[in-house]
Amino acid sequence: MAELQKDPVTRAQFIVMGTVGTLVGAVLTIPPVAFMLSPTIKTNFLGQSDVPDDWHELGSVFEVPSGTPKLYRVEFPQNQTYNGEDPLLGKGTIMNAVLVSWMDGEIPSALENASQGGLSASQIEELTSQLNVMSNHCAHLGCPVRWFPDRDEFLCPCHGGIYDINGGLIGGPPPQGLYYYAFEIREDGGIYVKHEFTNGEPWVV
Ligand code: FES
């Protein structure tokens, strides 16, 4: 009688191969995902950023419309470092898209009565409390969200995340609302941002 052929791979070998395959998969997957989520991960979860802590001008409060967000782009300088050592790849820039809207889309009374010549401290305080300065990266996996005026909502094209004009989460897989930039409003109405975010809570000075 013919002898049954032995399994060429033992159970122990099979388990070792599976473990090695998992490790290789993790090594190939984690760095790109971490890169995609940066700078959110670096700023909010690791508490560090390799972007200098400077203010950058976005635009003016006088040009933010009612009922719809305004999109700005800001280029932050970035120091490419490795473990805090000397720059590995030198210096570069990182382009961010920033969404700016008034709370609930309504222009505050402080702006209607303001002159472009100079805002008072109390006007700046009120405008600051009414302005949303948000990242366009979805809080789920970082895809860029877009404003749909016919729905009055931000929609994420990747998995259907939905946010309101204040960045609040309406539905879908994101665990929270959009991230908010640290910002300040100056006397001439200029809006300035830092490459620093609050974790789903509006920025408060
Ligand atoms: S990345 Fe936006 S819903 Fe998944």
CB of 141 closer than 6 angstroms to any ligand 1 atom: yes
Cis peptide before 39 (omega within 30 of 0): yes
Tell me which amino acid residue 5 is. Q
Atom number, ligand 1, closest to the C-alpha of residue 142 = 1
Report which of 58, 98, 74 is spatially closest to residue 191, judged by C-alpha positions.
58
- Positions of the chain with pLDDT lower than 50, given as ranges: 1-2, 27, 30-35, 38-48
What's the pLDDT at 121?
93
pTM value > 0.75? no
CB of 138 closer than 6 angstroms to any ligand 1 atom: yes
What's the pLDDT at 11?
63
Distance 167 CA to ligand 1 centre (A): 14
Distances (CA, A) of 57 to 76, 113, 202: 11, 23, 19
Cα(164)–Cα(20) distance, integer angstroms: 44
Report which of 184, 178, 144 is spatially closest to residue 57, judged by C-alpha positions.
184
What is the tens place of the pLDDT at every residue in 131-188?
Answer: 999 999 999 999 999 999 999 999 999 999 999 999 999 999 999 999 999 999 999 9
For the chain, the helix, strand and coil percentages under 3-state DSSP, each to the nearest 5: 25, 30, 45
Report which of 57, 73, 69 is spatially closest to residue 190, judged by C-alpha positions.
57
Pairing relationship of beta strands 90-102 and 70-80 according to DSSP bridges: antiparallel
Give the residue, out of 141, 155, 169, 179, with the most ligand 1 atoms within 8 A of its beta carbon, to mutate for a pocket test: 141
Terminal C-alpha separation, the chain? 86
Atom number, ligand 1, closest to the C-alpha of residue 141 = 1
What's the pLDDT at 53?
81
What's the pLDDT at 54?
87
Cα(164)–Cα(42) distance, integer angstroms: 26
What's the pLDDT at 31?
46
Atom number, ligand 1, closest to the C-alpha of residue 172 = 3
